[in-house]
């Protein structure tokens, strides 16, 4: 995947200082912004000295890999593939020059890898099939190598976008919308609207509305970015709205009630919706989940919630499925559902302006070759269920948040997604036993590596688009730098652990 320029990071850091930190240095948001600026500036410092050496080695390794890929092409079809100049012998070794060479080399490797995968069905020799899988794994390791080295290097220490139609959601615009939906119409008003920090894909606001009698009503508003990282399934906010609305009405899951949906509302640059608030606080971030202090009672409740979710039938979601459901879903097995979904994500990645990624090419190829035999019908899965997406009050889970990754699939996917963090808090066998005792379906633990790899693929594709938004300048949100530096390599690491046992 193409690497963002130093200038882009500096711009982000300065923008954050000017827009968030300086005006509100004592606020929670300002402190969070300061921590992120520190991370970005540390990255820049590493790029000044350490990174050029890493990239030079990565380019040399990549050039050798291109020769291996081309040689394999000649083995299977006897033809010479088209070549481009290799990224060597360039006198300029500035970081800008190195990332330009890396970008060209990444595109070349991605093209060769995709071409080889396209020939896989024509390879009859099992040894050649194994050799191709090994070579695709080598492609993935090469794409990950830079990010791994950069992430693991300590920060040096020293003494002492164009706007689209519409605009951000303001209090006035929200009030205008609510007056078209609220039972009190023009007699209601928005008296307070404050952003809630956290999250990467959506904006969230805590709102207070005054009704006609003067009573104050709390609401939560969830809004999509004008250039979202994902445009598939419940990553689209209207799909998430209708899914949660059905689940709230037809189940006993701890959910906020979706109330009012605004799609294409005049003056606002993206979809948003209002929902009822829930008590409690989020116990941890995703990256901090392994070391957070989370009571065992909460961990076991997570197993209970997941068991209830995975026991729900498809007729729990009639309005959602009528609007957005695939016609084959009612007759699908889990296996056929994933085969179709992998194809849909692959087509989306290839046609929606993502950055070329040899790693994603490897994931799609590995997934296509390793879909488990699973004849059970698909169920709704949350897709991002973990300690960063629950609300807790007095050691009780009061809500489950952020359903943008929800899809119909295998219960094993939700379990695989949280196993790594949960295992730091409780023995996994005990968690799984509690899940089963709470009504969860039987689980094929041997297949969980596949489903974690599938989840990682989706995250890598989504984050890839976030990096596109960052590099193209359509967003100046510093959280996208965290997506590139921390979240993307974390899911790369997890998927390599699942596919090969090493990272």
pLDDT in tens, 237-275: 999 999 999 999 999 999 999 999 999 999 999 999 999
CB–CB of 210/196 below 8 Å?
Answer: no
Is 181 found in the same domain as 126?
Answer: no
- C-alpha distances (whole Å) from 242 to each of 320, 369, 384, 400, 401 are 5, 34, 18, 16, 15
DSSP character at residue 268? B
Is 372 found in the same domain as 271?
Answer: no
Is 460 found in the same domain as 320?
Answer: yes
CB–CB of 143/149 below 8 Å?
Answer: no
pLDDT of residue 53: 86
The verdict on residue 465 lying in a domain is: yes
pLDDT of residue 41: 76
Kindly report the pTM of this predicted structure. Answer: 0.84
Is 374 found in the same domain as 333?
Answer: yes
Is 124 found in the same domain as 92?
Answer: yes
Residue with structure tokens 């060597």?
Answer: 88
CB–CB of 334/409 below 8 Å?
Answer: yes
According to DSSP, the residues that pair with 206 across neighbouring strands are: 194, 220
CB–CB of 372/335 below 8 Å?
Answer: yes
Say whether 226 sits in a helix, a strand or coil: coil
The verdict on residue 373 lying in a domain is: yes
Closest CA to 3 of 49, 43, 34: 43
The verdict on residue 30 lying in a domain is: yes
pLDDT of residue 89: 45
Lowest mean pLDDT segment, chosen from 59-63, 130-134, 225-229, 418-422: 225-229
CA 22-26-31 angle, 5° bins = 80
Does 417 have pLDDT greater than 80? yes
Is 191 found in the same domain as 114?
Answer: no
Is 414 found in the same domain as 341?
Answer: yes
Per-residue pLDDT band at 285 (split at 50, 70, 90): confident
Mean pLDDT across 95-113: 92
CA 65-67-68 angle, 5° bins = 65
- Average pLDDT value over all residues in the chain: 90
Mean pLDDT across 317-331: 95
Domain count, the chain: 3
pLDDT of residue 166: 84
| Residue 426 structure tokens | 């409780």
Mean pLDDT across 318-323: 96
The verdict on residue 1 lying in a domain is: no
Say whether 297 sits in a helix, a strand or coil: helix
The verdict on residue 286 lying in a domain is: no
Does 223 have pLDDT greater than 60? yes
CA 271 to chain centre: 19
CA 323 to chain centre: 24
> How far, in Å, CA of 71 to CA of 318, rounded?
53
Is 148 found in the same domain as 175?
Answer: no
Handedness of CA 378, 352, 166, 323 (dihedral sign): negative
pLDDT tens-digit readout, 158-186: 554 556 678 999 999 999 999 999 999 99
Cα-atom radius of gyration of the chain, to the nearest Å? 24
Say whether 425 sits in a helix, a strand or coil: coil
pLDDT tens-digit readout, 269-281: 999 999 999 999 9
Is 184 found in the same domain as 141?
Answer: no
Mean pLDDT across 29-43: 76
The verdict on residue 162 lying in a domain is: no
DSSP character at residue 4? P
pLDDT tens-digit readout, 56-102: 999 999 999 999 999 998 888 776 655 554 555 445 567 888 989 99
Stronger pLDDT, 54 or 46, i.e. the higher one: 54
> How far, in Å, CA of 347 to CA of 349, rounded?
5
Range of the domain at 200: 171-275
The verdict on residue 282 lying in a domain is: no
């Amino acid at each position: 995947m193409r690497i963002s320029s130093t200038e882009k990071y500096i711009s982000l850091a300065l923008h954050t200082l000017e827009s968030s930190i300086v005006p509100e240095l004592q606020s929670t948001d300002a402190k969070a912004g300061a921590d992120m600026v520190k991370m970005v500036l540390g990255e820049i410092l590493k790029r000044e000295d350490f990174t050029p050496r890493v990239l030079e080695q990565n380019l040399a390794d990549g050039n050798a890999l291109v020769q291996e890929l081309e040689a394999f092409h000649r083995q299977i079809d006897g033809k010479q593939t088209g070549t481009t100049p290799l990224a060597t012998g360039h006198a300029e070794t500035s970081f800008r020059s190195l990332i330009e060479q890396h970008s060209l080399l990444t595109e070349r490797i991605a093209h060769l890898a995709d071409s080889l995968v396209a020939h896989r069905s024509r390879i009859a020799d099992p040894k050649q099939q194994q050799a191709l899988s090994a070579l695709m794994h080598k492609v993935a390791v090469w794409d990950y190598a830079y990010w791994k080295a950069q992430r693991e290097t300590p920060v040096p220490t020293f003494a002492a976008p164009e706007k689209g139609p519409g605009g951000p959601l303001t209090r006035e615009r929200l009030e205008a919308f609510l007056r078209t939906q609220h039972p009190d119409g023009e007699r209601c008003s928005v008296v307070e609207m404050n952003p809630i920090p956290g999250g990467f894909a959506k904006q969230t606001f805590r709102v207070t509305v005054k009704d006609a009698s003067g009573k104050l009503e709390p609401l939560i508003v969830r809004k999509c970015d004008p250039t979202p990282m994902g445009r598939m399934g419940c990553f689209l906010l209207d799909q998430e709205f209708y899914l949660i609305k059905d689940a709230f009405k037809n189940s006993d899951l701890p959910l906020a009630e979706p109330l009012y949906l605004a799609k294409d509302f005049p003056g606002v640059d993206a979809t948003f919706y209002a929902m009822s608030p829930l008590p409690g606080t989020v116990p941890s971030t995703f990256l901090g989940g392994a070391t957070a202090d989370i009571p065992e009672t909460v961990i076991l409740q997570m197993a209970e919630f997941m068991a209830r979710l995975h026991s729900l039938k498809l007729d729990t979601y009639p309005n959602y499925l009528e609007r957005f459901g695939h016609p084959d879903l009612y007759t699908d097995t889990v296996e056929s559902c994933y085969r179709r979904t992998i194809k849909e994500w692959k087509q989306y990645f290839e046609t929606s302006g993502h950055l070329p990624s040899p790693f994603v090419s490897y994931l799609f190829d590995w997934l296509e070759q390793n879909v488990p035999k699973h004849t059970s019908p698909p169920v709704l899965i949350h897709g991002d269920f973990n300690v960063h997406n629950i609300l807790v009050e007095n050691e009780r889970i009061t809500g489950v948040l952020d359903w943008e990754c929800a899809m119909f699939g295998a219960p094993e996917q939700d379990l695989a997604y949280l196993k790594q963090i949960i295992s730091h808090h409780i023995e996994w066998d005990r968690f799984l036993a509690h899940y089963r005792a709470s009504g969860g379906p039987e689980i094929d633990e041997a297949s969980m590596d596949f489903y974690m790899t599938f989840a990682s693929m989706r995250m890598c594709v989504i984050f890839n688009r976030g990096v596109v938004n960052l590099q193209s300048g359509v967003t100046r949100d510093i959280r996208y730098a965290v997506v590139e530096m921390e979240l993307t390599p974390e899911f790369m690491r997890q998927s390599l652990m699942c596919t090969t046992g090493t990272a």
